[in-house]
Structure 1
Amino acid sequence: MTSPLRVVAVSGGMQRPSRATALAEHLLDLMAEQVPCERRLIELGQLAPQFVGAAWRSQLPEAVELELAAIERADVLVVATPVYRGSYTGLFKHFFDFIGQDALVDVPVLLAATGGSDRHALMIDHQLRPLFSFFQARTLPLGVYATDKDFVAYQLHAEDLLQRARLAVQRALPLLELTRQALPKVAGTTAAA
């Protein structure tokens, strides 16, 4: 039997509740419905006070180091960030600056963002995709962008958004299955002949 995928979601939301966090959690739920996985959510807004003043990874406290290590060990990443002035937040970028340059090679990444209007929708392709291309990660084919009007009380509400999220996960499934098949087998089981 194959080990479950380690799926780590990172929300760049600064507050709680957060639309970016709600979107990340929804995408995690959709993945968990399709493939066996161990889920972890990292909320940068809650973690920020522990890393904003650090210039080097060696300056980070253990709590932040544990979250970075979880990302570097992830089989799949889900990243969701609010759009701020046409890009991801500075805090989001600062956090990913601590990730090892080769730690995400070939890791599938589902990209998502939230913004005040549709005019920021291309941020996924023009900002997030190049960032994760630098890491040589495998950005998944469809990103998920949501505006404020797609939520009610910080819950996904708009049917178009819900369909887009489902489609993004469906389109990711072949790569997720390949990733899962490449994982080590769980001890005590044998492969079928």
Structure 2
Amino acid sequence: MPTLKLVGLSGNITAPSKTRAFVASAAVLAAERLHAEAEVIEVNDFGDQLGRARSLADLDAAGQALIARIVGADALIVATPIYKASYPGLFKHLIDLLDPLSLIGKPVLIAAVGGGERHALAVEHQLRPLFGFFEAHTLPTAVHISDKDFSDGVLTAPAAIARLARAVAQFDLHFPLSLRSAEAAA
């Protein structure tokens, strides 16, 4: 059986980014748990073409390959920074380019990084409905991380790390240990 593929999608548009650092940490944790291959894709990886694209056909071959890896993944970790109670427009534009049928049934861990706790509900009010539209299976535990949860760009807050671990464990609902063990042995 082939190895599970996990893609972490970071909705940031700047580098370095706490959102990317979070997604990378989450992807490593999930990949270890699921015996999966993981990669992180950032909105920035699409370059200037993303903002001009009106459809997937407007993306160059590299951009279309990124989209193919996102929709072809067995599971997603999607995190975005939160600005003024919502995700950035370019992140939403990327999601708008996806075929509405492309994420049906796909398990998705949703997360956000905000400047403070006032942004915590954006995960539930912005990301859960967005992926609900695609009929994706958002994991029950969403994760909100704020600036205070990082030290030198690394997620260090014990409560945040514990919540992330709890959310990652919910991938087990979609990938039982027996399936993961068989794939790891193959």
- Which TM class, normalised by the smaller chain length? over 0.9
The answer to whether the 8 Å contact 1:82/1:113 transfers is yes
What is the identity, as a one-letter code, of the residue corresponding to 1:9? Answer: G
Partner of 1:58: 57
Which is higher, the Rg of structure 1 or of structure 2? Answer: 1
Q: Which runs of 4+ in 1 moved over 2 A?
A: 45-48
Q: Percent identity?
A: 39
Partner of 1:16: 15
Q: Using the TM superposition, name which of 139-148 and 38-47 deviates more.
A: 38-47
Could you report, residue by residue, the CA deviation over 1:37-86 in whole angstroms, capped at 9, with x for unpaired residues? 11121111242412111112211111110011111111101001000111
Partner of 2:69: 70
Q: How does 1:161-176 map to 2 (within 5 A)?
A: 161-176=160-175
Query: Could you tell me how far apart the structure 1 residues matched to 2:44 and 2:175 are?
Result: 28
Query: Could you tell me how far apart the structure 2 residues matched to 1:143 and 1:3 are?
Result: 28
Query: Could you tell me how far apart the structure 1 residues matched to 2:53 and 2:170 are?
Result: 38
Question: Could you tell me how far 1:3 is from its partner in structure 2?
Answer: 2.1
RMSD: 1.8
Whose helix proportion is higher, 1 or 2?
2
Equivalenced residue count is 183
Q: How does 1:51-130 map to 2 (within 5 A)?
A: 51-130=50-129
TM-score normalized with structure 1 length: 0.89
Closer, same or farther: CA 29–48 of 1 in aligned 2, 3 Å: same
What is the identity, as a one-letter code, of the residue corresponding to 1:176? Answer: F
| Unmatched 5+ stretches in structure 2 | none
Query: Could you tell me how far apart the structure 1 residues matched to 2:169 and 2:121 are?
Result: 21
What is the identity, as a one-letter code, of the residue corresponding to 1:115? Answer: G
Query: Could you tell me how far apart the structure 1 residues matched to 2:110 and 2:175 are?
Result: 14
